[in-house]
Structure 1
Amino acid sequence: MSGINPHPSEEDVKTKIVIPALLQAGWSHENFLTEYNLRSDKYQIVPQTGQVEQIAQKQQRPDIILCTNIFHPLAVIEVKRSELDSAGIDQAIKYAKTLQVPLAYATAGHGFVEYNLKTGQQRSLSLTDFPSLNELWSSYCTALGITAAADQQNLAKAQYFRDEGTVHGRLIPRYYQMVAINSVVQAIVGLHRRRLLLVMATGTGKTYTAMQIVFRLKQAGVIHRVLYLADRNKLVDQAMSAGFESIAPCLKITGGKIDTHHEIYFGLYQQLSTSRKAVSADVDSEDAEAQVTSLIDLYRKLPPDFFDLVIVDECHRGSAAEESSWREILEYFHPAIQLGLTATPNTKDGADNTAYFGEPVFTYSLKKGIEEGFLAPYRVIRIDLDKDKTGWMPELGQLDDNGQEIPPKLYTVSDFDRTIVLPDRIKRVAQIINDFQHNSLGDMAKTIVFCATQNHALRMRDALRELNPQHMQENSNYIVRMTSNDEEGKALYAQFCSISEEYPVIVTTSKLLTTGADTKGTQLIVIDANIKSHTEFKQIIGRGTRLAPENGKTSFTILDFRRVSEIFNDPDFDGEPDELQEVGDPASDDPIFKPKAKAATTDKQGSTKAAITNRDANDHDAAKSNQPHGTESRKRSEHVVSGVEFTVVDANVLYLDETGKRMSTPLRDFAKQRILSEFPASEDFTHSWLTAKSKADIIAEMERQGVFFSDLRQVLGQDNLDEFDIVNHIGFNKELMTRSERAEQARHSAIMQRYDARQQQLLRELIAVYEDQGFEAIEKPVVLKAPRFQAYGGVPQIIASIGGADGKDGYRQALSLLLYQDGDTAEQAAHADAAGTSDYTAVP
C-alpha cells in the first residue's frame, strides 16, 4: 500500500483501501450502496407554541451497503479512522439490524472484522480474504433458512424495477421499503409462504412497495397473474397510476366479464357482495355507481388457479372475518399466494388479520415513521363542550322544531347529530373550527371535517358557509360537502387532494375520505363523530402523515370534539401525537384561538396533510349511502331542537416527551427537566460549554433533546438572549442576561485588560458581532474575512494574535472565556493560570 497517507481520513480509507479490496474480491461498483440515509431530519411540534421545528438527527448512514440485485442488501461495512479494525463493529451491527441483514463488517484499512448476527460469532479477515459476492450470497441465504439451490437461484433473479424516468434508472426506496419488499419476496420465493401480512403506516409507500413486490416475484418466475383488491375506486386508480401499469398489462374490472389477456387485475371490495346483500354497514361507499356487476358473480367463471397472487389492500376492513365476502373469494382462489396490506392490523375491532394471514413479515409503525423523520408529527386539540359532557334532557312534553314531541330521556354526545340534532351545537363547533383555521393556520389551510352522518355534514357545511361569505363570494367551492350522496362535492375530490389546486379549502364529510384519501394539502382535521375503534382512529391519523416540506407541510392538527383521542390512553395504541391539548372557551385568552403573529406552516395553497375517520360501532350511515338524497332523516327518527346553547369547558395542556410519554408540563418546565437530565449542576454545563470545540454542536444536541431555544426566547419574552444564559436561567435559576449585557461585561472584564491595545480593539469588534448575532457567528474563523477585520491582518494572523500557539482551538477558547466568565469562572481561570494547568491557554 505504498504511497498511501500514513494518517488517512475515513474517506481515504474507504476509497483507497476498502473499495479496491472489495473489487479485488470480485465485487463491482453496482453492488455498492453508499451515503444511504437510514433516517431523515425529524419535525417536531413544540409544546405550547405550536411551532414546528426541524431537528437534525444523528447521522445514520452506513459507509457501504453491499447488495445483490440493487437495493437487496446482504451486509454492511463501517469504515473508521483508527488503529483497530474493530472500532466500528458495534455501529455496523446496529445498521445491520436495521436493514435486517445477517452480516456486519468493520475496518480501519488494516483488515476486516466480521460479525455474524445469526450465530453471534466474530472473526478477523485480511484485506485479501473478504468474501466474494457468491460466498456472501450463500451465507445470507443460509442465515435466512433458504437452502435449496433452486430457491436461491430464483431469489437471485428477482430484480427490482428501475424507473427509467429517474436518475441512472433508479428510484431509490427508503430503507424500510427495501426491508418490506425483501422480507415478502424472500418469504414467498425462498420459504414458500402462501399467506402473508405486511404492516406499513399510512404515508410510507405501501403501493410502491406492493408494485416492487409484484415485479420481483414476476422476475423470479413465481407468479404471472395478480388480483389486486381495494375498497375504493380511488385506491385502485392510485395503484394503477403509481407504477403497476409500467410493469405489466393492467385491467380494472368494471363490466360483466373479465378479459383474461391481462396480467394484473384490479377489483373493488364493494363488488364482492353487491348482488347478494346490501353494502356492508362499515363502508360509506363512493363506488355505488360502479357496483353494476359483482365480482363474486364473475370469479366462479375463472378456474381457482387463475391468479397466482391476490393482494388485499387495506385488509383491516374485514377481509379476514369469517362473514366477509372477501373470505369467500380468498378461499375460492386458495391456490394463490395471498398478501394482506394494512396500516392498521386489526385485533381489537372484531376481526383478527393475523388469524388469517399470519404474523406480519414486517411492520413499520406510525410512531417509528415519525421518530425517524419519514412521517409528519401532529397535535391533537381536545375541545369539550358543556352538554357533551353532561348530556341534555328535554323538558317533559317539549316539542322539536317540527312540532313533534321529543321522547323524554337524557341525550348524550353519541346521540347528537343522529337521533337529536341541536343546531346551536353545530354553529358553536363551526365557529371554533373557523376561528382556529383562520387565526392559527390561515384562511386557505385545507381542512376536513368528519361528521356523524351525511346530513350532519350538510348542516356543518352550511354553518361554515355562513361564517365565510367573502370567501364563498370569491369561489363557491371554498366550502363543500363530500359524501357518497353528493355528486357535486365528490366531483371535486381530485382538486381537493391536489397541492397545486387552491379549492376546495374546507370539506365536510361522513366516511368518504376515511381510507385511501390522498389529501396531501390538508392541514386541519376535525373529528365531530363518535369513534371507538383503534383501527378507525389510526386511519384518521394516517390521512395526514405524509410529509411534503417542499410545499410547507411538516405537521398537521386534529381538533377533537368527541374525545376520540382518549384512545391514546390505551397502552396498546401506537402513534401518539407530539402535543395533545384540552382547551377552554375560545372567548377567553386561550392562545389556541388567538391570531398568531406568523403561522408556522401556512402558505397560500394550504400545504399540509391529514385526514380523519368517522365511524363508531353503531354507525349505520354507510348502509344508507345508496338511499335517495334526503331520505336519511326519515329513516332515522331525528329531532331538531334549536335554542340549546353550548359553551366550551375544561382547559389543560398535555404533550409528549421524546420517549412518546404524555406529560402535563409547561414548555419551560419541560426544558428544565431536559437540561437537568444532561447537566445535574450549573458547573457541569459551564465546563462543557467553555471547553467545547463547537457551541453549535452543544446547541444542536440540546435541541434534539427538546430544548428549543427560539421558542424559549418567546416564552421568556426576549429575542436577544444567549443559549448559555437561557440554560443557566431555566435550568439553574441564574439571573438572566441579554447578549448586550454580556457583551458590555466582556468589554470591561479583567481578562480584557490582559490584552494589549491592538488586541483589545480587535476583540471589541468580535464582541460587537457577538452582540448582534450570537457566539456561533464568531466561533468560526470565517467571520474574520469580513471587511471590518481587514485592518488586523489575514485570518492566520488574527487567530495567532488571539489564540496563540493553540491556533483555532485557542481562538475559540479565548473568546469563550472572555464572554462567559463570571466571578467563579474568572477565579478558577486565574488559579489555573497560576498553576499552569488552565484549559484556556490562549490568553497572553
Structure 2
Amino acid sequence: MSKKLFSERDICTKFITPALENAGWDKMKQFREEVNFTDGRIIVRGKLSTRGKKKRADYILYYKPNIPIGIIEVKENNHEVGAGMQQGLEYSDILQLPFVFSTNGDRFLFHDKTNSTNVETEIELDDFPSPEILWSKYLKFKGLNEEDSKSIVEQDYFFDGSGRSPRYYQQNAVNLTLEAIAKGQNRILLVMATGTGKTYTAFQIVHRLWKSRTKKRILFLADRNSLIDQTKRGDFKHFRDKMTIVQKRQVDKSYEIYLAIYQGLTGNEDEKNIFKQFSEDFFDLIVIDECHRGSAKEDSAWREVLKYFKSATQIGLTATPKETETVSNSEYFGDPIYTYSLKQGIEDGFLAPYQVVRVTLDVDVEGWRPEKDKRDKDGNVVEDRIYNRKDFDRNLVIDNRTWAVAKKVTEFLQNTSRFNKTIVFCRDIDHAERMRSAIANLNSDLVLQNHKYVMRITGDNDEGKRELDNFIDPEQTYPVIATTSELMTTGVDAQTCKLIALDTEIGSMTKFKQIVGRGTRVNEEFGKLYFTIMDFRNVTDLFADPNFDGDPVRIKIIDEDTPANDDFDNDVPDELQTDEKGSTDQVNDPNPDYSDPFTEKKTKPAKIYVNGVDVTVLNSRELYFDKEGKPITVSLKDYTKDILSEKYTSLDQFLNLWKNSDRKDAIIQELAEQGVMVEELLQAVNKECDLFDIICHVAFDQKPLTRQERANEVKKRNYFAKYGEQARNVLTALVDKYADEGVETIESMEVLKLNPISEFGSPMEIVKTFGGREMYLNAIKELENEIYSIA
C-alpha cells in the first residue's frame, strides 16, 4: 500500500513512533501521543453552551514526565515535510518548548530554537536526536548546569494517584520558577488569573523544592484565615504532619512547612511581632499568596515580614499585580517570569466566559434633587443639591433604588434559575444588609422555605461568615444569594457562581479583576460553564481599559518624599474591620478610609436615608464582547461583517464551502470560535433565518430568506418524487423540522428519535427505508443542497 494512502494515525504508528523508540525515547515515560492540552473554549449560545475545539499536539516529548522539551506535528504523506511546522511553532510558544518537529513520514523538519545560526534542518527518520542530546541543548539554552539540573529541575512532580496532573500553564509556571531558582534568582513573581489554580501551582513548586531538600523550611503567607485553612485542607494536605499553622503564641520550630497570615505575625507593638521568634535565616523559601495586597506596599507592616526574612527565596503569587506611582509588586519581586491571563484561560476553556447585562436606572442618569423641604426618614430636611450615582448608598440612601436593583436581580434569576449561586457586591455593610432584606422580601416564598436563601456575608457578621463555606460548596444548596461589600472580593473559590451583580463604584482595576474572578471558575458537573455580570454602576467600562487583561506597566516613582496610598484601592478585608466600611470610590476620593489595616479607622459622616422617591429602570441591555474580551463598540452587524470579510473573500467562495461541507454545524462552530456571536446575530437580524442567510445578508448584502420560506421552496420543487412513499414522508417531516429548528437538527441522527419522524419507525427501520445508513446520509446531503439552492 502506498504511503500516500496512509492516514495521519497510520503515519504515526508505522513511522514516527518507531523512529522515536529507535532514538532511545521511552514510550511509557518520554513521549505522549495525541495530547489535548486545552479544554476547548466554552461557546455560549443564548442560554446554551458548548465546547470549541481542543488544542492537540500529535506528540509531546519529555526528558522526564514533568519536563516537556519538544513537540512533533504529523501530516499525511501527501503533504510536504514542513506542512505542520507553523502549527507546531504556535503550540511550542504556548507550551514553552524549544524543539519543534514537523513530519510527513518521510523525514523530519527540525526547528531548533536553541540554535541561533541554523534554526531549521531536515533530518532522516533514523537520525532523530536522542533524549540526552536534546536535554543537553535544553540545559545550555536555559543557562543551567548539570548539577543544578539534577538537584532542582529534574525533581519529580507530586502525584497522589488521583489522576490529577498539572495543566500546561501550571507546568510552565512551576518549571520556569524552578529554573529561575536553580540559576540563583531569589525574588520571583507569578501572575495567574483567578481560578487557574495558583495554590496548586504553589504546592507543586514547594513540594519539588522540599523533596529535593533544596529548600527545607518553607513559609506560606496569606492575608486571611479562611485562605490558610483552605490551603491546609486542600492542596497542601499532602505535607501532613510536616506542616503547621503559626498561631499568636510561642512558635514551634520543629516543623518544615509553616502556614500563616500576615496579621498573625505582625503588630504595632514589638512584642506582637511573632515572626521575630524565628531567626532571620530560618526559612529557605517564602510563598506570598495574593501578593498584590499588603506586600506590594513598601512601608507596610506586611512588607516588614519579607524584609526580615530577606535571605529566603520569595515567590509572589497574584492574579492582579499592582503597579501605581507609589505601589509596586514588580519593583520588589521583579517582572513576572510567567503570566497566564484571564483572556488566555477563557480561550483555552479552563475559565468560564462572561456575559454582561447593563442596567440603567433613571436616578443614576438624571440625578436626584430633593423637592423643597424634603425630609429624610429621621425628619431632617435634606440638603438641596443634586445627588448622583456616586452619592447613592455612600452619602444618600434611596430605599426605592435598593428595591429596584433587588427586583432586577430577582427577575434575572426567575428567567434563568432561582437557585443559581449569586453574589451582589454592595457599597458597604449597611448597603449589603439593606440589599439582603430587599431580596428576601422579593423572594419571600423561598425564604420561608429556608431563611438562608439570601444571606449577608460580611466581615462583621459571624452568622454570614459561618455560611461562606456552604455558599462556595457546590454540594450545598444554601445560601443561594450572598450580599457582601469586601469580604468576598478575593480568595473565595465560588465554583458554581453564575451571577455577579455590581451595585458599587469600583475605581480600582485590581479590585475589579478580583471581583470578576469570583465567577470565572468552571464546574461542568454542576452545569457551570459561563456566568453573567449584572452591572448597575457602569463598572464594566473597565473591560475596555487596555490594562484589564495584561501585566500593568511598572510606573512606581522612587521618591522618598512620596507618601504611600496603596493605589486608593480599599482592599482591606472586612474581617480586619470593627465597623462599617467606607466608599470604594477611591478614584474620586483622595483620602480613602484605609491605607493600612493597622491604622486607626476614620469616622465617616452619617448617611441620609430617604423614601418616597420613584426609581425606574430606563433600559437593560446585554453588552457584546469580541474574542479578545473587549467590548464591541460598532454595531453587531458591522462587527460580524468585518470578521466574515476576513474569512470569505467572495459570495462564491462561501457558497462552495457551505455546499461541500459534510456538516453545516462544523462551519457554525468554527465561526463561533472565531468570534461570530451566532445567537445574538440571529436575534438582531431575524431569528427565523438560519446562519446561512445571515452570512449572505451581512457579508454580501443578499436578501435573507426565513427557514420556512426555504422549506416551502423545497416542497414546491417536489424533488422527493424519486423516493418511495415512506422515504418521502420522512424527508417531508425533516424539511418541517428544519423550518422549526434549523439545519443542525436534521444533520443529527438523533432527529430520527423525535416526533413526528419517530412515528415512521425506529432509527434503524427509517434508515433501511433509504437503503442503509450511507444512502440515508446521502439523502440528507441532497436535501440540504435543495434547501440552499436559492442563494
Q: Who is 1:11 aligned against? A: 9
Asked if 2 retains the 8 angstrom alpha-carbon contact of 1:93 and 1:104, the reply is: yes
Asked if 2 retains the 8 angstrom alpha-carbon contact of 1:68 and 1:156, the reply is: no
1:426 to 402, 406, 420: 402
Q: Who is 2:59 aligned against? A: 64
DSSP 3-state at the match of 1:513: coil
1:788 pairs with 2:766: yes
Whole-angstrom distance in 2 between the partners of 1:342 and 1:442 = 33
1:437-456 equivalences in 2 (<5 Å): 437-438=413-414, 440-456=415-431
1:559 to 534, 542, 557: 534
1:88 to 84, 92, 96: 84
1:269–1:762 Cα change, 3 Å: same
1:744-763 equivalences in 2 (<5 Å): 745-746=713-714, 749=717, 752=719, 757=722
Whole-angstrom distance in 1 between the partners of 2:481 and 2:50 = 27
Whole-angstrom distance in 2 between the partners of 1:724 and 1:730 = 10
Whole-angstrom distance in 2 between the partners of 1:319 and 1:114 = 45
2:238 to 246, 252, 260: 246
1:709–1:425 Cα change, 3 Å: closer
1:6–1:703 Cα change, 3 Å: closer
DSSP 3-state at the match of 1:68: strand
Q: Who is 1:155 aligned against? A: 152
Whole-angstrom distance in 1 between the partners of 2:477 and 2:465 = 16
Asked if 1 retains the 8 angstrom alpha-carbon contact of 2:110 and 2:120, the reply is: yes
Q: Who is 2:664 aligned against? A: 695
1:273-312 equivalences in 2 (<5 Å): 273-276=266-269, 294=272, 297-312=273-288
Asked if 1 retains the 8 angstrom alpha-carbon contact of 2:489 and 2:518, the reply is: yes
Whole-angstrom distance in 1 between the partners of 2:112 and 2:749 = 46
1:379 to 334, 355, 362: 355
Shift of the alpha carbon at 1:738? 5.1
Q: Who is 2:34 aligned against? A: 35
Shift of the alpha carbon at 1:688? 2.2
1:763–1:432 Cα change, 3 Å: closer
2:655 to 669, 683, 686: 686
1:79 pairs with 2:77: no
Moved more, 121-130 or 663-672: 663-672
2:142 to 129, 144, 159: 144
Shift of the alpha carbon at 1:489? 1.3
1:448–1:671 Cα change, 3 Å: same
1:198 to 181, 190, 197: 190
1:112-261 equivalences in 2 (<5 Å): 112-119=108-115, 121-146=119-144, 148-164=145-161, 166-167=162-163, 171-189=164-182, 191-247=183-239, 249-261=242-254
Shift of the alpha carbon at 1:319? 0.4
Shift of the alpha carbon at 1:430? 2.2
Whole-angstrom distance in 2 between the partners of 1:794 and 1:470 = 55
1:642 pairs with 2:615: no
1:593-604 equivalences in 2 (<5 Å): none
Q: Who is 2:448 aligned against? A: 473
Asked if 1 retains the 8 angstrom alpha-carbon contact of 2:426 and 2:504, the reply is: yes
The amino acid of 1:71's aligned partner reads N
Shift of the alpha carbon at 1:353? 0.5
Shift of the alpha carbon at 1:745? 3.7
1:625–1:636 Cα change, 3 Å: farther
Shift of the alpha carbon at 1:317? 0.5
Whole-angstrom distance in 2 between the partners of 1:36 and 1:413 = 51
Moved more, 615-624 or 373-382: 615-624
Asked if 2 retains the 8 angstrom alpha-carbon contact of 1:157 and 1:220, the reply is: no
Deviations 1:112-165 (A, max 9, x none): 22111233511122222222222211111111121x22112223531100112x
Whole-angstrom distance in 2 between the partners of 1:775 and 1:206 = 43
Structure 2 spans left out of the alignment, 5+ residues: 552-581, 753-761
Asked if 2 retains the 8 angstrom alpha-carbon contact of 1:418 and 1:636, the reply is: no
Shift of the alpha carbon at 1:778? 7.0
Q: Who is 1:105 aligned against? A: 101
Asked if 2 retains the 8 angstrom alpha-carbon contact of 1:536 and 1:614, the reply is: no
1:362 pairs with 2:331: no
**TM-score for both structures, normalised by structure 2:** 0.85
Q: Who is 1:499 aligned against? A: 474
Asked if 2 retains the 8 angstrom alpha-carbon contact of 1:349 and 1:535, the reply is: no
Asked if 2 retains the 8 angstrom alpha-carbon contact of 1:44 and 1:53, the reply is: yes
Q: Who is 1:483 aligned against? A: 458
Whole-angstrom distance in 1 between the partners of 2:304 and 2:597 = 24
Whole-angstrom distance in 1 between the partners of 2:461 and 2:136 = 59
**TM-score for both structures, normalised by structure 1:** 0.80
2:378 to 402, 421, 426: 402
Whole-angstrom distance in 1 between the partners of 2:325 and 2:436 = 31
Deviations 1:575-598 (A, max 9, x none): 89xxxxxxxxxxxxxxxxxxxxxx
Shift of the alpha carbon at 1:634? 8.0
Whole-angstrom distance in 2 between the partners of 1:745 and 1:404 = 73
DSSP 3-state at the match of 1:572: coil
Q: CA RMSD in A?
A: 3.5
Q: Who is 2:788 aligned against? A: 820
2:293 to 306, 312, 317: 317
DSSP 3-state at the match of 1:540: helix
1:380–1:502 Cα change, 3 Å: same
Q: Who is 1:841 aligned against? A: none
1:475–1:682 Cα change, 3 Å: same
Asked if 1 retains the 8 angstrom alpha-carbon contact of 2:267 and 2:301, the reply is: no
1:728–1:643 Cα change, 3 Å: same
Shift of the alpha carbon at 1:510? 1.7
Moved more, 673-682 or 417-426: 673-682
Shift of the alpha carbon at 1:477? 1.2
Whole-angstrom distance in 2 between the partners of 1:558 and 1:795 = 46
The amino acid of 1:35's aligned partner reads E
Moved more, 664-673 or 549-558: 664-673
Whole-angstrom distance in 2 between the partners of 1:128 and 1:428 = 73
1:739–1:457 Cα change, 3 Å: closer
1:119–1:347 Cα change, 3 Å: same
Deviations 1:596-616 (A, max 9, x none): xxxxxxxxxxxxxxxxx9834
Q: Who is 1:831 aligned against? A: none
Q: Who is 1:603 aligned against? A: none
Structure 1 spans left out of the alignment, 5+ residues: 278-292, 577-612, 800-807, 826-844
Shift of the alpha carbon at 1:356? 0.3
Whole-angstrom distance in 2 between the partners of 1:404 and 1:749 = 79
1:681–1:337 Cα change, 3 Å: same
Q: Who is 1:340 aligned against? A: 316
Whole-angstrom distance in 1 between the partners of 2:723 and 2:492 = 68
1:429–1:110 Cα change, 3 Å: same
Asked if 2 retains the 8 angstrom alpha-carbon contact of 1:521 and 1:553, the reply is: yes
The amino acid of 1:155's aligned partner reads I
Whole-angstrom distance in 2 between the partners of 1:382 and 1:779 = 37
The amino acid of 1:788's aligned partner reads I
DSSP 3-state at the match of 2:392: coil
DSSP 3-state at the match of 1:235: helix
Asked if 2 retains the 8 angstrom alpha-carbon contact of 1:747 and 1:764, the reply is: no
Q: Who is 2:566 aligned against? A: none
Shift of the alpha carbon at 1:706? 4.3
1:623–1:674 Cα change, 3 Å: closer
Whole-angstrom distance in 2 between the partners of 1:154 and 1:199 = 26
Deviations 1:22-65 (A, max 9, x none): 2222221211233322322222445xxx53432423x4211111
Moved more, 203-212 or 764-773: 764-773
1:411-422 equivalences in 2 (<5 Å): 411-422=387-398
Sequence identity, in percent? 38
